[in-house]
Structure 1
């Protein structure tokens, strides 16, 4: 038995009827001529690019035509729709952000303690946590990684949740267990060992081609202090970094050393370059440093690192992001406008890709050092431009750096799946990864808070993503006519 709905949609289940009524207030309507506001997706590069664009628009297509988001399983689609409905509305996002920041603090009373309050834990676990995180156990994380691979992604970028964030506005550190450990010097060693164990457990979850994203500040206050002061790092920590790097290399995987608060970043860069000199040999990359395009200093920093790689003869791994610490880094270090950040990102990405940047390569007397590039971004325009440049230069046999792409798990799925449709003449898709984190709910609270802040600071992108998800939900409902 079917039930008539507004806009001439019929359904066969109460769940679908409820979803349709939820979408009705703001979603696009199915037209009388059978067209809905989506675009037909094609396997060709040109049409795939159009499909990627039209997930954000009201371009009409034939009823039932697939879009990049058609690859999302129903449960993930509807959870994403809910999360983005909150993220795209400031009156919902701002109080949610304040609550997440409160929950990320250690030593909370029972009501706000995610480890002790079962109701609070259940709500967060089945909404924000499952949207952005891989799991609390190794088995849960591996199941999520397989699910992502089954959707067509090249692999997973996996990180262990422990980290420390320094807030330049308050001069305080935030991270799971920070308050409990700052007064006990022996506990610093325990923190390093806990970080080592957690990271090695993460390495054991990696398959060949996967990537480990590591946050060095997760090793505790002693390491954080040394990173900030650019002082010698504890030997126990350095030994752990070398051990982890060797095990990742043995598995045929990679390490992405995450960018963190500028309070610690110069020490992180120094260690990253030391490890690259040891492991990035013979034209191969094991480790990447991360460069944040929203910082005014990034091009100067990268220029110095290219020179070091050239002088010492190792292959430099360059991961480019826009940046995720705007709320905690000093504002004076950050570009004045979003356009400045976008321009900086594109200059770095395209310059490295064509091996002609910052006085290296091209007509310069200094050859461009051996390099590999990972573009982590949710900006469709930047990624499509880079992919098209890579394709054109490869066909023309011009100097070109190998490139991979990545987006965060639970975010910008229309961009990720759209990239997978940009296949070359041989039918080979770009290498696209999803970056996710694993750890207990309490350990992941700082990570979840940063995801909420990122959605707040990228309001237009979040609204576009919400619109694309609504369109896909309507497209699926159209099958029930």
Structure 2
């Protein structure tokens, strides 16, 4: 009998059990919060990710299925066999649901496991591949050649893509509460918007109105917004757009809007410094979400740090600098540190633990710091997520830990699923911690079936 089948029984007993471990992060007691079905699926996906002869065919299949214009026979939405396989494996592992009902159920399940909230996005985006010079719009048959450009239309013409983006995003907000974040992929608004981002030209008024409506609704519901980083072809335009939203909506000490900064880019440190300068001069709060980066397979390689060690160093320097309120000319003996809210999205255990330890130590001795939240993707790095939740603070509260997910149809989520599968492969190949933790928890539960506590 396979391990996942063993994991279908004794759920109540295993979730309440806690194994003794000497690890800094209490792996067994943390992962014991995972229901058996989720643990079994996580173990299956991690095992596939650790075996190249299993993973490579899976990645090729996901890449093939994500291309637009395929036949009905190979449609992930219309072929029930393909849909069922993907739904029970990669989709359920990394995505929240295809319907509102499924998504609400997933959100509730994550909060019941102890997470402060969720980070939810509607799965529609455009990815630019610098090698083929094409834009791939997910969820619709969109393929734009760089030389030909987008469809010709007036910036004042009503745009169906922008309207779909607006409606999908507003519907996502309805799923969220005050403890949650909305993640927004601005390229989901279609080719007219991505062309404006690529050329760093003004957005259509319909798009700016949509963003104002989205931000206003989030403000009313106390839901914060994380604007995602995307392909480099569009990123400078996205950064500028988000900074303008911060100028308008981040007027209190609590940031409503966050920009996402990718530590693997060589330009990120200077970009953050410029945005801090704007926040300082214009008296708004900078929402700083820090990630390592997720577009290494499609972005131009020369823009990215030469080694993983360089990226790790850049990430930690920015994260710890923000927590110490010392970045560039700001803080310490320099200029007053501007108002910053920090969100650390990371699966790297040393980075997360170092940031949390520094934040707590500064609070305990009365040194200045910034508010910080932590996030990991649904279906990944559960050892890190639950380990953070186990780190009780002196006031009895846990760190603010969130799980990031997406919702939408299978076809809309394919690009997201492909990136998650690649990230999971890279994570498992760099370290066996996650797979070993899952195996240990599965073994603990199987032993519990036969050995009384």
TM-score, length basis structure 1 = 0.87
Which digits, 9 at most, give the CA deviation of each residue in 1:270-302, with x for residues without a partner? Answer: 010100011101212100000101111110110
Aligned to 2:381: 412
Aligned to 2:142: 179
Aligned to 2:337: 368
Aligned to 2:215: 245
Relative to structure 1, the CA distance from residue 17 to residue 395 in structure 2 (aligned partners, 3 Å threshold; closer, same or farther) is: closer
Work out the CA distance in 2 between the residues paired with 1:185 and 1:459: 46
Contact 1:165–1:175 at 8 Å: present in 2 too? yes
Question: Residue 342 of structure 2 aligns to a residue in which SS?
Answer: strand
Contact 1:324–1:450 at 8 Å: present in 2 too? yes
Aligned to 1:40: 20
Listed as ranges, the matches of 1:4-43 within 5 Å are 19=6, 40=20
Work out the CA distance in 1 between the residues paired with 2:239 and 2:310: 23
The total of aligned residue pairs comes to 432
Contact 1:215–1:260 at 8 Å: present in 2 too? yes
Q: Does 1:279 align with 2:249?
A: yes
Residue 428 of structure 1: CA displacement?
A: 1.0
Work out the CA distance in 1 between the residues paired with 2:239 and 2:64: 31
Greater shift, 266-275 or 85-94, is seen at 85-94
Which digits, 9 at most, give the CA deviation of each residue in 1:403-461, with x for residues without a partner? Answer: 10000001000100000011112221100000000000110001001111212333434
Q: Structure 2 residue aligned with 1:89, among 38, 47, 51? A: 51
Q: Does 1:125 align with 2:87?
A: yes
Q: Structure 1 residue aligned with 2:417, among 448, 454, 477? A: 448
Question: Residue 357 of structure 1 aligns to a residue in which SS?
Answer: coil
* The structure with more radius of gyration: 1
Question: Residue 443 of structure 1 aligns to a residue in which SS?
Answer: helix
Work out the CA distance in 2 between the residues paired with 1:456 and 1:384: 22
Work out the CA distance in 2 between the residues paired with 1:67 and 1:169: 45
Contact 2:135–2:143 at 8 Å: present in 1 too? no
Residue 267 of structure 1: CA displacement?
A: 0.4
Residue 120 of structure 1: CA displacement?
A: 0.4
Q: Structure 1 residue aligned with 2:123, among 146, 151, 161? A: 161
Contact 1:104–1:175 at 8 Å: present in 2 too? no
Aligned to 1:6: none
Residue 95 of structure 1: CA displacement?
A: 1.4
Aligned to 1:106: 68
Greater shift, 253-262 or 102-111, is seen at 102-111
TM-score, length basis structure 2 = 0.92
Q: Structure 1 residue aligned with 2:268, among 298, 303, 326? A: 298
Aligned to 2:13: none
Q: Does 1:257 align with 2:219?
A: no
Aligned to 2:304: 334
Contact 1:51–1:67 at 8 Å: present in 2 too? no
Contact 1:320–1:349 at 8 Å: present in 2 too? yes
Relative to structure 1, the CA distance from residue 383 to residue 330 in structure 2 (aligned partners, 3 Å threshold; closer, same or farther) is: same
Work out the CA distance in 1 between the residues paired with 2:434 and 2:2: 23
Aligned to 1:232: 202
Residue 209 of structure 1: CA displacement?
A: 1.6
Q: Does 1:51 align with 2:41?
A: no
Work out the CA distance in 2 between the residues paired with 1:132 and 1:336: 29
Work out the CA distance in 2 between the residues paired with 1:282 and 1:118: 49
Which digits, 9 at most, give the CA deviation of each residue in 1:211-268, with x for residues without a partner? Answer: 0000000000000000010001010001000100010011011000000011000000
Contact 1:135–1:141 at 8 Å: present in 2 too? yes
Where do 5+ consecutive residues of structure 2 fail to align?
Answer: 8-17, 145-149
Which digits, 9 at most, give the CA deviation of each residue in 1:186-218, with x for residues without a partner? Answer: 898100000000000001111112000000000
Residue 89 of structure 1: CA displacement?
A: 1.1
Aligned to 2:33: 71
Residue 113 of structure 1: CA displacement?
A: 1.1
Work out the CA distance in 1 between the residues paired with 2:132 and 2:425: 20
Work out the CA distance in 1 between the residues paired with 2:397 and 2:367: 20
Q: How much is the aligned-residue C-alpha RMSD, in angstroms?
A: 1.9
Aligned to 2:392: 423
Aligned to 2:449: 480
Aligned to 1:145: 107
Work out the CA distance in 2 between the residues paired with 1:351 and 1:145: 32
Q: Structure 1 residue aligned with 2:404, among 411, 425, 435? A: 435
Work out the CA distance in 1 between the residues paired with 2:107 and 2:402: 10
Question: Residue 24 of structure 2 aligns to a residue in which SS?
Answer: helix
Where do 5+ consecutive residues of structure 1 fail to align?
Answer: 1-13, 21-37, 42-46, 56-65
Contact 1:80–1:410 at 8 Å: present in 2 too? yes
Aligned to 1:135: 97
